[in-house]
């Protein structure tokens, strides 16, 4: 079902400068650990509008992905698009199913229909992109995992992935997808409003199809909820292949009730077995107040700690090797974010950038195992951040901000033209900085002076100047090896 290019709304005289080995963006926040860190290979000072895609057939809630010279997105109309990274034109589209009308769901805040909400994931070795579509059929709503060929959108896999005994209409597949040991890993929570009877789930499905492995939150008799949603972020996969998630409020709301793994940080094995957990001492109160600890994913730092924020206005620092169970934190800081931390984080060395909705935070973890707030951006922008070419990028309203990693002040402000949907996050790849904006993708690149002698073409080595620029800004971030090389 390939479709000819529909014609982008491009900016004259601007197109991405594609560097050899510039890197792909294959999963939410770049890599299995969700670091959110990559380099686009351009000078942020010279970024200009490169193109805006045509209007797509639905809203974009996920992050744009990049493989080679193509940009991939999925819409709430259950359609996957491949766009040209050169000019934003549509190379192919595949409409998978009829999305679920919002009126057919017990509650929610996505309208007029719910289709593909979580960010897809790409396996470059298989040349396949995986998405989960919420779709309507003769039996009502259902969640279906599709694998599509990245070249032309051919359907390679179609498998129902609603967990055992679940009520599909009460589930929202908000979490982004990731890969772990040949399996697609995804999560479920409830619709906005926590209506109906649902449980939080983490599910692993073989990329070739087959039996699912499942972990259920709030699984005790009479229990429910415990959403795995994390503001749209993907489950974090560590170097051992273990899967880390954070959960939302559950049904146990008194100290006399049993601990139900709600409002917790959980480490799961690749087979979806619970390895260890952490919960604040007042986890039951968080459940009673709908103050989800799991509105953001766990941030795994290189020193062996875990930083977790949520809607409850408190940050927790944990040990990766021993989460400590209930009340097992190393350190905690209250009142750091008055509006809640929602969505994916970015991590550079001992600093985590957290999407506080009233203004992005930079938090440093010191060797003594304590947290220090470095800054809160004065811009007020609080979308899930990434780090690229020495700046911290976050979306606030109709603006994509490039922030100084040292101060949080705005270094660049780029208009995306439209308000993006809940918890929007940018990405980079093939020399572009990309942002979702309603039903379009907006791309920024470095101007190319057409016809100038010595202009670098696709596949040629990047000049020394961009490398020097990236090295200089890498030093600003602490010289983390491998990030800006």
Reported as a single tens digit per residue, the pLDDT across 358-411 is 999 999 999 989 999 999 999 999 999 999 999 999 999 999 999 999 999 999
What does the pLDDT average to over 145-155?
A: 98
Place 194 in a pLDDT band, splitting at 50, 70 and 90: confident
In the block, which residue shows the tokens 């942020």?
44
pLDDT value of position 211: 98
pLDDT in tens, 64-121: 999 999 999 999 999 999 999 999 999 999 999 999 999 999 999 899 999 999 999 9
Of how many residues is the chain composed? 485
Is the pLDDT reported for residue 476 higher than 90? Answer: no
Predicted confidence (pLDDT) at residue 429 exceeds the cutoff of 80: yes
Tell me the backbone φ, ψ of residue 191, rounded to 5 degrees.
Answer: -70, 160
User: How distant, in Å, are the alpha carbons of 234, 244, 267, 270 from that of 239?
Assistant: 16, 11, 13, 11
pLDDT confidence bin for 474, thresholds 50/70/90: very low
Q: What is the mean pLDDT of residues 283-306?
A: 95
CB-CB contact of 133 with 72 (8 Å): no
Q: What is the pLDDT of residues 384-393, one digit of tens each?
A: 999 999 999 9
Q: Which of 262, 216, 229 is nearest to 118 (CA)?
A: 229
pLDDT for 10 equals 36
The CA-based dihedral angle spanning residues 372, 377, 382, 385, taken in that order and rounded to the nearest 10 degrees: -70
Q: Please determine, for residue 320, whether its predicted confidence score (pLDDT) is greater than 50.
A: yes
- For the chain, the average pLDDT equals 88
Looking from the CA of 182 toward its CB, the CA atoms found within 13 Å total: 6
Quick check: 100 and 135 in contact, CB under 8 A? yes
Residues 142-153: what's their mean pLDDT?
A: 98
Q: How far apart are CA 411 and CA 44, in angstroms?
A: 9
Answer positive or negative: Cα dihedral of 429, 430, 433, 435. Answer: negative
From the centroid of its chain, how far is CA 35?
10
pLDDT at position 143 is 98
pLDDT of residue 39: 82
Whole-number pLDDT of residue 475? 39
10 Å CB burial of residue 193 (0-12, 13-18, 19+) is: exposed
The contacts of residue 482 (CB under 8 Å, 6+ apart) are none
Q: What is the pLDDT of residue 422?
A: 81
> Where is 464: in which H helix or E strand?
helix 464-476
Residue 345 confidence class, pLDDT cut points 50, 70, 90:
very high
**Predicted pLDDT of residue 448:** 62
Predicted pLDDT at 161: 98
Q: How many CA atoms lie within 13 Å of 27's alpha carbon, on the beta-carbon side?
A: 21
pLDDT computed for residue 338 by the predictor: 85
Which residue did the predictor score with more confidence, 129 or 138?
129
37 — phi, psi (to 5°)? -115, 125
pLDDT at 1: 35
What are the boundaries of each domain within the chain? 24-476
Q: Which residues pair with 250 in a beta bridge?
A: 225
Region 24-476: CATH code: 2.140.10.10
Tokens of 172: 């929202």
Share of the chain above pLDDT 70, in %: 87
**Which residues 6+ apart lie within 8 Å of 446 measured at CB?**
16, 17, 42, 43, 46, 47, 48, 431
Instruction: Confirm if 399 and 373 have CB atoms less than 8 A apart.
Output: no
């Amino acid at each position: 079902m390939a479709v000819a290019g529909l014609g982008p709304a491009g900016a004259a005289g601007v197109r991405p400068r594609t560097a050899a080995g510039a890197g792909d963006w294959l999963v939410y926040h770049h890599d299995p650990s969700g670091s959110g860190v990559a380099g686009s290979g351009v000078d942020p000072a010279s970024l200009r509008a490169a193109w805006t895609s045509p209007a797509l057939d639905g809203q974009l809630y996920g992050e744009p992905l990049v493989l080679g010279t193509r940009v991939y997105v999925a819409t709430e109309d259950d359609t996957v698009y491949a766009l040209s990274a050169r000019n934003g034109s549509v190379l192919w589209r595949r409409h998978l199913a009829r999305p679920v009308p919002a009126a057919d769901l017990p509650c929610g805040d996505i309208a007029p229909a719910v289709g593909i909400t979580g960010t897809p994931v790409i396996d470059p070795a298989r040349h396949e992109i995986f998405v989960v579509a919420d779709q309507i059929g003769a039996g009502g709503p259902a969640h279906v995992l599709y694998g599509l060929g990245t070249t032309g959108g051919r359907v390679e896999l179609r498998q129902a992935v609603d967990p055992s005994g679940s009520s599909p209409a009460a589930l929202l597949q908000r979490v982004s997808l990731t890969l772990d040991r040949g399996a697609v890993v995804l999560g479920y929570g409830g619709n906005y409003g926590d209506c109906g009877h649902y449980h939080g789930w983490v599910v692993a499905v073989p990329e070739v199809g087959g039996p699912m492995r499942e972990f259920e939150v709030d699984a005790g008799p009479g229990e429910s909820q415990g959403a795995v949603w994390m503001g749209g972020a993907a489950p974090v996969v560590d170097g051992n292949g273990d899967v880390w998630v954070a959960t939302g409020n559950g049904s146990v709301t008194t100290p006399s009730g049993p601990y139900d793994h709600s409002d917790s940080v959980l480490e799961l094995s690749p087979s979806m077995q619970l390895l260890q957990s952490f919960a604040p001492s007042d986890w039951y109160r968080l459940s009673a107040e709908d103050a989800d600890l799991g509105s953001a994913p766990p941030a795994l730092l290189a020193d062996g700690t875990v930083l977790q924020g949520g809607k409850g206005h408190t940050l927790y620092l944990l040990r990766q090797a021993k989460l400590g169970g209930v009340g097992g934190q190393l350190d905690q800081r209250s009142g750091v974010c008055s509006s809640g931390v929602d969505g994916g984080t970015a991590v550079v060395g001992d600093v985590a950038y957290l999407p506080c909705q009233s203004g992005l935070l930079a938090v440093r973890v010191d060797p003594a195992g304590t947290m220090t707030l470095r800054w809160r951006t004065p811009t007020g922008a609080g979308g899930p951040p990434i780090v690229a070419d020495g700046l911290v990028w976050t979306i606030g309203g109709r603006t994509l901000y490039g922030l100084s990693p040292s101060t949080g002040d705005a270094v660049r402000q780029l208009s995306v033209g439209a308000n993006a949907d809940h918890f929007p996050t940018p990405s980079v790849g093939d020399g572009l900085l990309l942002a979702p904006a309603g039903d379009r993708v907006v791309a920024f690149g470095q101007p190319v002076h057409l016809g100038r002698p010595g202009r670098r073409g696709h596949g040629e080595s990047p000049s020394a100047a961009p490398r020097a620029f990236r090295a200089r800004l890498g030093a600003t971030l602490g010289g983390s090896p491998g990030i800006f090389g």
